[in-house]
Every structure is written in structure tokens, then in C-alpha cells.
Amino acid sequence: MTVEYKVHSNIAVITLNNPPVNGMNYETRKQICASLDQAANDDTVAAVVITGAGKAFSGGADIKEFNTPKMSQEPSLHSVINAVESFEKPVIAAIHTVCMGGGLELALGCHYRIAAPGAQIALPEVKLGLLPGAGGTQRLPRAIGVENALNMIVSGEPVKSEMLAKLSDQKLFDRIASSPETLMEEALTFASHVATIRPLPLIRHLKASHPNADGYFAFARNTVTAMSKHFPAPLKCIDCIEAAVQKKFKEGMDFEREQFIALLMTPESKALRHAFFGERAASKIPDVPESTPVREVKKLAVIGAGTMGGGISMNFLNAGIPVIILETSQEALDRGIATIRKNYESQVKRGKLSQEKYEQRMALLSSTLNYEDLKEADMAIEAVFEELNVKQAVFTKLDAVMKPGAILATNTSTLDVDKIASFTKRPQDVVGTHFFSPANVMKLLEVVRGKQTAKDVLATVMAIAKKIKKTAVVSGVCDGFIGNRMIEQYSRQAGFLLDEGCTPAQVDQAVEKFGFAMGPFRMGDLAGNDIGWAIRKRRATERANMRYSKTADLLCEMGRFGQKTAAGWYDYLPGKRDAIPSKIVTDMIEQHRKNKGLTPRKISDEEIVDRLVYSLVNEGAHILQEGIASKASDIDMVYLTGYGFPLWRGGPMCYADTVGLFNVIQRMKKFQKNPLDDASFWEPAPLLLKLADEGKTLT
């Protein structure tokens, strides 16, 4: 049973009990209606209280049912709310912890609402590319005013119950309980008091009005249009709220329904829902049960106070975990700590961090040149130079001093984590934690699972990731892990496009128009072209058969490493980050084509985008097939949170499903015929062929 029904003296209590968040799936809706019938037929029942068991009143409609027949199977959420609204005895919502989406819409349909302090109240549908589709856009403006409702609906952000109760003239809450613990008792008393009052108050009878409606909605549209370029939902929310002001309640409800159904079908909503579940699924590792005990990490050691070590440390300081940083020289330590200090100070200056918090965080930071001082730490993260012998020296020392059971993590981006683990006598405690730069900002953390990494080490790192607010995705050991292994193929294609006739700016603009935060060449200039150059040189022998465009090497031979040298694929003015197309670079590319006897051709934006994105899709399919990633949504999370892939397209794998795997493969086969491209590059991954053949999808 997902709904409990009990009678307390003359009050019936309907308790949603559908863990984890009392999502209103078909079963729950059916049982709410059955409970209402029971209460209607029981003459001893004078009023009904609806509440939720566990950690939510209700998180809303069950998102998993969307786009399935169950979603509209009667009783729909509309029908449930209608049944509540037209119930002949008073229905009181007793709201606590989380009251969101359809949960709030259900409450708005009740005759009265009493909320516990601290309850999170929201209509967050917009974050899933939707709008509140069960009356939220019609009832909330009537309950808290048009402007307040619009802010909540368009942002989707939760507001605390006690804040809403303070709004002037609000009709949302009839009472705020003294405490969460006394909510039910107070709701039952309240129900007894109102049991005989008639007529029953309905929010639909209130008026949604604004003294300057036309001007206000024009202003709201202007603001929202600028902020929601690629997402249709926010503007549709405004249309519906305007309908609440202009139309009769029933007409407004019909309008809202039409808009909701239309949004449900959009690729943007599909992508956002995919990302919602993908983020939660990423923390689940198929063979590591959620009950796996985690190790306690009360103190962290960071080895190396460079770019990454500093950023990594900040994550832990922000979470209140003490950090000790080790370096090879006092100068390097001072420099690293000064950078951390500078970063925090700039946050204080911008009003993003209070002086008090800044001081608290810095007080958690200590430094040393001596490994003996790391003995107390429960985990070490190594972020020293990307050279195997340097890593070996560090891990040998860590193995000697760290306490038994301490986790030894490496931030390596290209080296073999199993090899690094073999430098210790405790490979089961070694794991990769691949942060992205700037490590204190970027959401993504690739957790690299070595052959021998213990399950509780993985479980601990996933739990820590949550604590430091990262999206952690597990990757097996391979060259580049998930993200960089895919980006290598993408970069190779970008290079081929230069050989065949594109300019860096043309390629960047095409993918940026598609939605990437940054095209491959601007990204190279930001990260430093010399990094890829060094990797290519190191891999020269093992990748002797892999074809690359030589343009990236030629660029580095000219000393054009990117923004840091004020010259890369683009020119940069001193101290500025604007990428200015460079004549030197286009001349270099033209000369390179001449030397190779390549005749440039005009390449469409569509071809550029398809070649770059499908190169990610194909490598992603290999990664999935090899078990480096355990699910396609993990790959999408890597790309959404670490590589600027457009959120509204859901990540490369979700995008491939939207286009259709058959179509993707057809396009790849066409690219295979291009004599200047690498035919083997476009050999579709067996998994893609299989899924397309079976009419299945990746995600």
C-alpha cells in the first residue's frame, strides 16, 4: 500500500507512503481516491487530513511515469485534486519537509493548509522543462499573488514555508505549526475546529489580479527570454500565469493542460528529466550496494599545491573538512596557499562569501614539507606533476606513512591508476579522483576504479563527492577515462576539419551554435594547447597508427599555447580573453594544406556539428561496451557537468537517441566515404549497430 488510512477520533488521516518522496504514481493516486471514498462513506468522519510519511509531504507527480500510459491512467492527478476540492467535508493538508510540484498542487486543492516550519515549498517543474500541470499555475497566483507565484514557478526554487506565511495577504497557509514535531497534532486540532464550517473555502474562487498586468507580463517575458534562450518552459509558465489573470478558472486550467502536454513532448524536457535521473543514477554503482559501509574521512591530505591541489583543497575546506597540503618547497607551499587565499578573498569582495566563513575555512588549512605530518589524515589526494616516476615517489611515501585504511587517491588525468596502485602495498585503498579545472568550480568528478579498488573505498569516495557537491561518475581504467578518451576523438575530428577547409573560428562557431559552452579551439586555448602536445608526444610510439591533423603540433611549435601565451588558435590582447581570429594561424593552416596537397572545400555547419558530436557518440558507445562506464547516462553526466555539452540536449548519448541511432549510423557511414577523413574512425561501434538493429536506444 502506498497510502495509509486511519481515523483519529472523528478525523480521517490519509498518509501518502510511497518512499522515497511520496511521488504520486498511479497506485498512490488510486489509493488516495479510495481513501477519500472511505472517509465520505463514514458518517463519523467530520474532516480529513492529508499528509506524507517519511521525508516528504510529496515530491510531486512520479516523474518516472511521464510519457507512459500510467501517467494519464485515471485517476489522473487532476482527478485526485478535483476529488479533494469537491469533497463535502473539509480536507486539510498537513505539510512538512518537502512539498513540491504535484504535491503542492494537491495541497492547493485542499480546503485548508497547515505547514511545519522549514518545509520546502516549490513548483520545480520548470527544472524538468515543464510547467506545473495540475493547476499550480492557476491556483498559486490566487494564493500568494501574481508576482510571488511567477517568481516561484519560473525559477522552480523552493521557498521555506515560514517565508511564504509572511507574505502580505497570502492565502496559502492557514497556519504554520509551532514545530515539525507538533504538526500532526496541530493539524488534527485545526481540523476539528473547521469541521463544521461551510461553505468550504476554495482557492479557485479567489481572484488572480495585478494592478498593471500587461506591463508586468511584458517585463517578465523580457527578463525570462534573455535567461532561458534554449528552454521553452519558462515562457510557457508566464503564458499560463497570465491566463490565470485573464481567463476564467476552468479555461485557465485547460490552457495550462495543453501547454503542459506540449512541453512533455519537447526534447528539452526529455533531456532535463534524463539529466535529473542521470545525476542520481551516477552515484549508484551496480556491484556496490547502497548498504556498503563507508570509511570515515575527517581529515584530508593533499599532495601538491599547484593548480589542481589548491582547487581540490578548497572543495574540502568549503565542506568543513580540515586539509593539510604537502609540497616539495616552502616557496611552492606559499604560492599555493596564497592562491587559495586570493580565490577566497575575491569571493568575499564579490559578496559571495562572508569574512567569517572565509576565516573559518582558512583556519582549517595547514601545510607541511614533511610526510610524517600526514599520519592523521584519513585520505590523501595526490595532485603532483603528471609523470609516473613523480607519482611513484609520492605513493611510495604515502604508503609508508598513511594510517591503515586511509584512502590514497590520485588526480592523474592520463596515467594508469592500476600502475600507480602497484607502487603501494595496499592497491585496494587506491582510487582515481579526477577533478576538472578549476577544481573548486567544476561539478564533475570522475572516480576511477582500479582493478583492485575496494568497494568501500568507492562507496566512501562517492559519499565524499556528495559532501563536496560534485557529480561523481565512476570510470574504469583506460586511457583518458570517460571524458578525455572521448574528447580525444572529438579533437581529432576538429583537426581533420581544419585540414579539409575549415577555420578554427568556423568550427567553434558551429558547435557553439549547437550549444557547447565553447568550441574545441577556444577550449584548447583556455586549457593550454601544450598539454595535448605533450600527451601526443608521449604517446607517439603507442599511437603510431592513429592519424591526426598536424596543425595542432605546428601551432605549438610556434609557441602558441593559448591564452597563457596570449596566442593560440586565436590572438589575444594583453590581459583579455576575447578570441580574435588569427591571420598567422590561417596562414599556417593553408600552408599545411598546400604541403599535404589538400584542396580545401566549404564545409557546412551541420557537417561540422555531426562529425564532432558523433565522434563523441561512437567513442561513448565503445566505452559503454567495454564496461568503462556502466551506463549511458553516466557518459552524459560527464559531458553535461565537465565538458559544457548543452544541457537541453541531454548529453551525447541522449542526443544520439533523440536523433535516432539508425540515422546516426547512416551519417557515420557517409563520413566513412570521405577520402580525407579516417574511414576506420567512422566504423560504428558494435553496440551502436546492435542497438539500432534491435530498435533500442542507448539511454
- By annotation, the residues acting in catalysis are 105, 125
* Maximal C-alpha separation, the chain: 93
With CB atoms as reference, the residue minimizing the distance to ligand 3HC is 101
Q: Which does 98 bind (CB under 5 to 8 A by kind): ligand 3HC, ligand NAI, none?
A: ligand 3HC
Q: Which does 384 bind (CB under 5 to 8 A by kind): ligand NAI, ligand 3HC, none?
A: ligand NAI
Q: How many residues bind ligand 3HC (CB under 6 A)?
A: 25
For ligand 3HC, give the closer residue by CB, 261 or 441. 261
Q: How far is residue 528's CA from residue 521's CA, in Å, rounded to a whole number?
A: 10
| Window 63-92: contact mask with ligand 3HC (x via CB under 6 A) | xx------------x---------------
For ligand 3HC, give the closer residue by CB, 81 or 374. 81
CB of 417 to ligand NAI, least distance (A): 11
Which of helix, strand or coil describes residue 156? coil
267 membership: H or E segment, kind and range: helix 267-282
Which amino acid appears at position 347 of this protein? Q
Q: Give yes or no for residue 61 binding ligand 3HC (CB under 6 A).
A: yes
CB of 487 to ligand NAI, least distance (A): 12
CB of 63 to ligand 3HC, least distance (A): 4
For ligand 3HC, give the closer residue by CB, 273 or 485. 273
Q: How far is residue 360's CA from residue 115's CA, in Å, rounded to a whole number?
A: 35
Q: Which does 23 bind (CB under 5 to 8 A by kind): ligand NAI, ligand 3HC, none?
A: ligand 3HC
CB of 13 to ligand NAI, least distance (A): 54
Q: How far is residue 188's CA from residue 186's CA, in Å, rounded to a whole number?
A: 5
Other residues' Cβ atoms within 10 Å of the Cβ of residue 606: 11
CB of 439 to ligand NAI, least distance (A): 7
Q: Which does 461 bind (CB under 5 to 8 A by kind): ligand NAI, ligand 3HC, none?
A: none
For ligand 3HC, give the closer residue by CB, 62 or 525. 62
Q: Which does 101 bind (CB under 5 to 8 A by kind): ligand 3HC, ligand NAI, none?
A: ligand 3HC
Burial label, 389 (beta-carbon count in 10 A; 0-12, 13-18, 19+) = exposed
For ligand 3HC, give the closer residue by CB, 62 or 242. 62
Which amino acid appears at position 91 of this protein? V
Q: Give yes or no for residue 469 binding ligand 3HC (CB under 6 A).
A: no
Q: Which does 511 bind (CB under 5 to 8 A by kind): ligand 3HC, ligand NAI, none?
A: none
Do 274 and 238 meet the contact criterion of CB atoms below 8 Å apart? Answer: no
For ligand 3HC, give the closer residue by CB, 59 or 568. 59
Please give the DSSP secondary-structure letter assigned to residue 167. Answer: S
Q: Give the HSE-up count for residue 130: Cα atoms under 13 Å, Cβ half-sphere.
A: 26
Range in contact with ligand 3HC (rule: CB under 6 A) among 17-25, 193-201, 208-216, 576-584: 17-25
Q: Give yes or no for residue 304 binding ligand 3HC (CB under 6 A).
A: no
Other residues' Cβ atoms within 10 Å of the Cβ of residue 607: 18
Query: Which residues sit opposite 345 in a β-bridge?
Result: none
Q: Determine what percent of the chain falls in helix, strand and coil, rounding each to the nearest 5.
A: 55, 10, 35
Are β-strands 120-122 and 159-160 bridged in parallel, bridged antiparallel, or unpaired? antiparallel
Residues forming the site for ligand NAI (CB under 6 A): 303-309, 326-328, 332, 383-386, 390, 393-394, 411-413, 434-437
**DSSP assignments along 222-250, one per residue:** HHHHHH-TT-SHHHHHHHHHHHHHHS-HH
For ligand 3HC, give the closer residue by CB, 264 or 308. 264
Cell 463514514 sits on residue: 42
Stretch 116-145 residues interacting with ligand 3HC (CB under 6 A) = 124-125, 128, 132-134, 136
Q: Which does 59 bind (CB under 5 to 8 A by kind): ligand 3HC, ligand NAI, none?
A: ligand 3HC
Q: Which of 52, 60, 483, 650 binds ligand 3HC (CB under 6 A)?
A: 60
Q: Which of 52, 75, 90, 102 binds ligand 3HC (CB under 6 A)?
A: 102
Query: Which residues sit opposite 4 in a β-bridge?
Result: 15
Sheet holding 471-476, edge to edge: 365-368, 323-326, 300-303, 379-382, 407-410, 430-435, 444-449, 471-476
Q: Which does 437 bind (CB under 5 to 8 A by kind): ligand NAI, ligand 3HC, none?
A: ligand NAI
With both helix axes pointing from N to C terminus, report the angle between 520-527 and 481-500 in degrees, rounded to the nearest 10: 120
For ligand NAI, give the closer residue by CB, 256 or 382. 382
Q: How far is residue 347's CA from residue 644's CA, in Å, rounded to a whole number?
A: 23
Q: How far is residue 4's CA from residue 149's CA, in Å, rounded to a whole number?
A: 32
Q: How far is residue 550's CA from residue 591's CA, in Å, rounded to a whole number?
A: 12
Phi, psi for 439 (deg, rounded to 5): -65, -25
Binding stretches for ligand 3HC (CB under 6 A):
20-21, 23, 56, 59-64, 77, 98, 100-102, 105, 124-125, 128, 132-134, 136, 277, 280
